[in-house]
């Protein structure tokens, strides 16, 4: 009788399958890594970074010691790029100051995708406001966020 009691649990263990999914072949959308801004003249709609009407020296950012600004050519367009190494699930506020007079208040809310599955817990943009106006955003490559004009 003892032999049979020992064999029955072994049979149950051998037929149990794992509920885990193999995520090694899953491609997940990247989380936010940067914000991209097209800066255009309000009258001519010309990109003011391309013709160097504005340079990085004309632009300052306040609100975080870990944030960095750069000007990069992305998708054949010169863009202002904002990166912050401290981004996590939270609200972030910045002030973008152009030529010491034009001030844009940026409020960025980041959330994580629901946990579970192969792509859970990815940091995503929930909302972005500029001067209290919610902006439409478009996610493009590598977790970059492009602000639409």
pLDDT for 140 equals 56
- State how far the Cα of 149 lies from the Cα of 142, in Å rounded to an integer: 21
Read off the pTM: 0.75
Is-contact 67 61, C-beta < 8 A? yes
Domain ranges of the chain: 26-147
Q: What is the mean pLDDT of residues 111-127?
A: 87
Radius of gyration of the chain measured on its C-alpha atoms: 24
State in Å, rounded, how far the first CA of the chain is from the last one: 79
pLDDT for 42 equals 81
pLDDT for 149 equals 45
**Does pLDDT of 62 surpass 80?**
yes
- State how far the Cα of 44 lies from the Cα of 122, in Å rounded to an integer: 39
Percent of all residues in the chain with a pLDDT value above 70, rounded to a whole number: 79
- State how far the Cα of 47 lies from the Cα of 146, in Å rounded to an integer: 14
**Does pLDDT of 134 surpass 70?**
yes
Question: Which strand (E) or helix (H) includes residue 44?
Answer: none
Count the Cβ atoms, other than its own, within 10 Å of residue 67: 17
Q: What's 28's DSSP letter?
A: P
Strand partners, 114: none
């Amino acid at each position: 009788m003892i032999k049979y009691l020992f064999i029955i649990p072994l049979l149950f263990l051998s037929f149990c399958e794992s509920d885990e999914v193999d995520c090694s072949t899953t491609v997940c959308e990247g989380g936010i890594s940067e914000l991209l801004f097209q800066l255009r003249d309000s009258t001519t709609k010309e990109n003011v970074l391309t013709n160097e009407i504005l340079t990085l020296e004309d632009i300052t950012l306040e609100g975080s010691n870990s944030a960095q600004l750069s000007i990069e050519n992305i998708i054949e367009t010169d863009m202002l790029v904002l990166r912050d190494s401290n981004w996590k699930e939270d609200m972030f506020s910045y002030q973008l100051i152009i030529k010491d007079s034009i001030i844009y208040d940026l409020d960025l809310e980041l959330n994580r995708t629901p946990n579970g599955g192969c792509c859970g817990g990815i940091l995503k943009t929930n909302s972005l406001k500029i001067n209290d106006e919610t902006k439409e955003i478009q996610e493009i490559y590598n977790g970059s966020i492009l602000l639409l004009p």
